[in-house]
């Protein structure tokens, strides 16, 4: 359906599948996460990254590949991304990759990017809903030894040059960067409205589209650097902190007392991220 093109941008979008946060529970006995009962979806900012990639493709041509690391059940979600508009997809899936922290994850993803071949741009969602580390894009850029931009708001190709203009969020504002390609760019959540599935692509996406599944052997990864073995950090414990429900706490007293309580609350809430 979509022959590889030699012109335009070769973009790789990293995509992750995450469990619905409100359905994840901590098993009080084993102190581990129980995701089994939770439904999953595509990490929402990754759809913003995909939309950015497809817009760039609309503007300057090229092709969009999806890259993901995870268990085989991710595959249908990759196919969904193909139905939205991506051209091909690759899933890095191997028991040896399990239990990876960001160091091992970024190493494995970098090996996947290298195996896909020459690229201009790797786009990631700002952060994942489950881990919320936002460290994958910079780590990936380091392994690949290419330019990096995080918190991107807008991306534009500079015509005729291996260069992009990227608007990036700063604390209290933004900056515009000129970025040499190839580069890894992470896209802020909600910067665009992801286009919906194109049902005309569905049959192709579900049945014909190529989804490469690569294991440790295919990538020739160093076992010391992948999965649990390649992860310097360990989880020492988990606990449930809050249900996503609203607290519905009533403040009562005289108007003055309520005002004081509210003022205290707002001073901490506006300084911090609450929750």
Question: Could you say whether residue 61 binds other proteins (CB under 8 A)?
Answer: no
Structure tokens at 49: 């990254």
The residue written with tokens 């108007």 in the block is 255
- 192 neighbors 52 (Cβ within 8 angstroms): yes
Structure tokens at 85: 């508009």
Does residue 248 interact with other proteins by CB under 8 A? yes
Q: Does 220 bind other proteins (CB under 8 A)?
A: no
Q: How far is the CB of 222 from other proteins (least distance, A)?
A: 9
Asked if residue 36 binds other proteins (CB under 8 A), the reply is no
CB atoms within 10 A of CB 146: 20
Residue 229 CA to residue 25 CA, distance in Å, equals 26
User: Nearest Cα to 194, choosing from 44, 61, 76, 82?
Assistant: 44
Tokens of residue 271, six digits: 């300084």
Per CB under 8 A, which of residues 167..196 are in contact with other proteins? 168-180, 183, 190, 193-196
- Closest among 24, 23, 81 to 47, alpha carbons compared: 81
| Shortest Å, Cβ 195 to other proteins | 6
103: contact with other proteins by CB under 8 A: yes
Nearest CA to 56 out of 166, 210, 168 is that of: 166
Q: Is 28 in the site for other proteins (CB under 8 A)?
A: no
Site string for other proteins, 109-148 (x = CB under 8 A): --------------------xxxxxxxxxxx-xxx--xxx
CB of 216 to other proteins, least distance (A): 16
**17 lies in the site for other proteins, by CB under 8 A:** no
Helix, strand or coil for residue 271?
A: helix
Region 73-102 residues binding other proteins, contact defined as CB under 8 A: 101-102
- The stretch near other proteins (CB under 8 A) out of 5-13, 60-68, 88-96, 262-270 is 262-270
* One residue of 2, 8, 33, 218 binding other proteins per CB under 8 A: 33
């Amino acid at each position: 359906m979509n022959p590889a093109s030699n012109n335009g941008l070769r973009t790789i979008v990293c995509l992750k599948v995450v469990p619905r946060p409100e359905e994840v529970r901590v098993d009080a006995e084993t102190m581990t996460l129980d995701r089994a009962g939770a439904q999953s979806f595509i990490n929402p900012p990754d759809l913003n990254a995909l939309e950015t990639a497809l817009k760039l493709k609309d503007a300057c041509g090229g092709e969009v590949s999806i890259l993901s690391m995870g268990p085989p059940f991710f595959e249908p979600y990759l196919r969904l991304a193909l139905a939205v508009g991506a051209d091909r997809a690759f899933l890095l899936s191997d028991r040896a990759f399990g239990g990876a922290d960001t160091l091992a994850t970024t190493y494995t993803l970098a090996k996947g990017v290298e195996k896909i071949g020459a690229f201009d741009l790797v786009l990631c969602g700002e952060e994942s809903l489950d881990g919320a580390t936002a460290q994958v894009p910079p780590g990936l850029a380091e392994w690949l030894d290419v330019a990096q931009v995080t918190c991107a708001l807008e991306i534009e190709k500079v015509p005729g040059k291996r260069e992009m203009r990227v608007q990036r969020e700063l604390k209290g504002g933004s900056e515009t960067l000129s970025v040499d390609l190839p580069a890894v760019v992470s896209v802020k959540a909600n910067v665009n409205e992801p286009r919906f599935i194109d049902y005309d692509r569905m049959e192709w996406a579900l049945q014909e589209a190529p989804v490469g599944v690569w294991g440790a052997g295919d990538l020739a990864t160093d076992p010391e650097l992948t999965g649990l073995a390649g992860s310097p950090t360990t989880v020492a414990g988990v606990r449930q902190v809050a249900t996503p429900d609203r607290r519905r706490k009533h403040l009562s007293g005289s108007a003055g007392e309520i005002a004081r309580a509210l003022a205290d609350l707002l001073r901490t809430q506006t300084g911090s991220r609450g929750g």
